[in-house]
Structures are given as structure tokens and as C-alpha cells.
């Protein structure tokens, strides 16, 4: 990672922040992107205080024009983007039959269209340089039905399909595109699904009434677990891996 520039979306907390920190610790310069301008400025300041090379950028990934301006700004200020991590995501829970149009559209706007906007903008700049690596952070829910998660699961499944198709189209340019699919991870998103005291336990034990098995390894992931998998797929160690989906869920989907 040393001497390269990485752009990470959803960087103000959770998995995104963990990815920024790890890539910076491994020597990358990181453009940390988030919708929340105040939070991303605070996050970048904390990282710089720890001696890490991170610069905060506020941008709305649901806006094509905003993303194009963002990537231009990043490359003009910091240099060519070599690594991209799509970590921005939202979760709107609800039964499929009663889910509102607003929740459905908001979920896809970030989780799918956001991935499209940022990946397209960055890949188009990587292409003439004939080098780069992209990782989309999706979810194990994309391939396993979950009650009350229809919008989230569908949006992540679409993001996976898009990332793999992009990977096929740009492979001849030396650009690799892969997916990390986390299971339950100790983030504000998971804690928002339960009370703070029960989030981990509920994930580990599962819920037979919702046909949801627990986690065989007996623990939820940390954001750092997902960051390490992401960093691997970006690295030279994964130099012959593309269009791959790496599930990091402690066995929750039973290896399927």
C-alpha cells in the first residue's frame, strides 16, 4: 500500500473508518469520503493526530455530478487513485409488503447507485493508467434471505452483480474488482437493529422464528476483521484475484 492513494466511501464510522485506518497504517494516503462533513472532518483529524495520512472529503454518492467533482478534487489535490473501497451503506428495515417507496429508493440510492457512481468515476480514471483495484463492501444478506431486510439484501445483491460485471469489463486494463460480504459486524448499523446490550447475543444465537441461524464461530465480526479482508483484496497478495466475493461472517451462512 505504501505510496498509493486510496479512496474510501462511508469513511466516518464503522467498517469504512476501520478500512481508512488500516490502509493508512499500511502506508497508503487515504481520501476519506462521507456525506457528513463534520464527522468526516473529525475522523480525518483523529487519524492525522495518530500520524496517519488521511484527508476528509464530504460528498453525496447518490449524486453523479457530486461524485465526478469529488474524484476530480481528490486527484487534483492528492494524485491518482489506485485503490477504491465502496463502504458507504444504509439499512432500512421493513417487511417487503409494507416497505415504503422512500425506504426502498433511499436504500438503493446509496447501496447500489452510489457504488455505480463512484466505481464508474474512479474506474474511468484508472483505465488510462491500466492499474487499480476496487472493493465493494456488500453483505452476506445478498445471497441469503433475511426477514425485514428485502431492500437491503436486494440493493447489496445488485451492487455485487455490478462490481463483478465491471471487473469483467476492465480486467484487460489491469483493474481488479472484488467484493467483501460481511455478516453481523459490531457497528452502529448492527446496534441499531437491537438494543446495545443484545446486538451481539442476538446475532450469535440466531432466531429460529425468522429462519436465521447463529454464528458458528460464536462471535460477531469487528470492523477491523472486515478491513483486513478488504486490504487483502486490494493488495498485491491478491494480484490474480478478480470478480471474487469473499464472505466474512463467522460461518453464519454455512459456507453457501
Looking at the fold, whether 94 and 166 belong to one and the same domain comes out as yes
Q: pLDDT tens track of the chain, all 256 residues?
A: 899 999 999 999 999 999 999 999 999 999 999 999 999 999 999 999 999 999 999 999 999 999 999 999 999 999 999 999 999 999 999 999 999 999 999 999 999 999 999 999 999 999 999 999 999 999 999 999 999 999 999 999 999 999 999 999 999 999 999 999 999 999 887 666 655 566 678 889 888 988 889 999 999 999 999 999 999 999 999 999 999 999 999 999 999 8
Looking at the fold, whether 234 and 110 belong to one and the same domain comes out as yes
Looking at the fold, whether 127 and 27 belong to one and the same domain comes out as yes
Looking at the fold, whether 144 and 72 belong to one and the same domain comes out as yes
- SS3 of 128-164: the string is HHCCEEEEEECCHHHCCCCCCEHHHHHHHHHHHHHHH
Calpha distance 182→185 (Å, rounded): 7
Closest CA to 130 of 168, 171, 169: 171
Looking at the fold, whether 41 and 119 belong to one and the same domain comes out as yes
Calpha distance 174→125 (Å, rounded): 13
Q: Tell me, what's the pLDDT at 197?
A: 60
Evaluate whether residue 255 is within a structural domain: no
Evaluate whether residue 254 is within a structural domain: no
Looking at the fold, whether 152 and 216 belong to one and the same domain comes out as no
Identify the residue whose cell numbers are 488500516: 22
Give how many domains the chain has, as a whole number.
Answer: 2
Q: Tell me, what's the pLDDT at 27?
A: 97
Calpha distance 10→167 (Å, rounded): 21
Evaluate whether residue 252 is within a structural domain: no
Q: Tell me, what's the pLDDT at 187?
A: 85
Tell me the catalytic residues: 152
Q: Which residues contact 189 (CB under 8 A, 6 or more apart)?
A: 14, 89, 91
Q: Which residues contact 145 (CB under 8 A, 6 or more apart)?
A: 153, 211
Evaluate whether residue 122 is within a structural domain: yes
Q: Tell me, what's the pLDDT at 195?
A: 57
Residue 209: domain span: 189-220
Helices (H), the chain: 14-25, 37-49, 64-78, 101-108, 114-126, 150-170, 188-191, 199-205, 223-234
Question: Which contacts of 215-220 are long-range, i.e. CB under 8 A and separated by 24 or more positions?
Answer: 215/183, 215/184, 215/249, 215/250, 215/251, 215/252, 216/250, 216/251, 216/252, 216/254, 217/250, 217/251, 218/250, 219/250, 220/183, 220/184, 220/185, 220/186, 220/190, 220/250
Evaluate whether residue 209 is within a structural domain: yes
- What is the sign of the dihedral through the CA atoms of 117, 38, 4 and 180? negative
Evaluate whether residue 256 is within a structural domain: no
Calpha distance 248→244 (Å, rounded): 13
Looking at the fold, whether 214 and 229 belong to one and the same domain comes out as no
- Backbone angles phi and psi of 53, in degrees to 5: -90, 90
Amino acid at each position: 500500500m505504501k505510496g498509493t492513494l486510496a479512496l474510501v466511501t462511508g469513511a466516518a464510522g464503522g467498517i469504512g473508518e476501520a478500512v481508512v485506518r488500516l490502509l493508512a497504517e499500511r502506508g497508503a494516503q487515504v481520501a476519506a469520503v462521507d456525506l457528513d462533513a463534520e464527522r468526516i472532518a473529525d475522523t480525518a483529524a483523529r487519524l492525522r493526530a495518530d500520524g496517519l495520512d488521511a484527508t476528509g472529503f464530504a460528498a453525496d454518492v447518490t449524486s453523479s455530478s457530486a461524485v465526478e467533482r469529488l474524484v476530480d478534487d481528490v486527484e487534483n489535490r492528492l494524485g491518482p487513485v489506485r485503490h477504491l473501497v465502496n463502504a458507504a451503506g444504509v439499512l432500512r428495515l421493513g417487511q417487503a409488503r409494507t416497505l415504503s417507496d422512500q425506504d426502498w429508493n433511499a436504500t438503493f440510492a446509496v447501496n447500489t447507485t452510489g457504488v455505480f457512481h463512484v466505481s464508474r468515476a474512479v474506474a474511468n480514471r484508472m483505465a488510462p493508467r491500466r492499474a487499480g483495484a476496487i472493493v465493494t463492501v456488500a453483505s452476506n444478506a445478498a445471497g441469503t434471505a433475511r426477514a425485514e431486510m428485502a431492500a437491503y439484501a436486494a440493493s447489496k445483491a445488485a451492487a455485487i452483480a455490478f462490481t463483478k460485471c465491471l471487473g469483467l469489463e476492465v480486467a484487460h486494463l489491469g483493474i481488479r474488482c472484488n467484493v467483501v460480504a460481511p455478516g453481523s459486524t459490531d457497528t452502529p448499523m448492527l446496534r441499531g437493529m437491537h438494543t446495545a446490550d443484545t446486538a451481539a447475543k442476538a446475532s450469535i444465537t440466531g432466531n429460529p422464528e425468522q429462519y436465521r441461524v447463529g454464528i458458528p464461530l460464536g462471535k460477531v465480526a469487528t470492523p477491523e476483521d472486515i478491513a483486513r479482508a478488504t486490504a487483502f483484496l486490494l493488495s498485491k497478495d491478491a494480484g490474480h484475484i478478480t470478480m471474487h466475493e469473499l464472505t466474512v461472517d463467522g460461518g453464519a451462512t454455512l459456507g453457501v
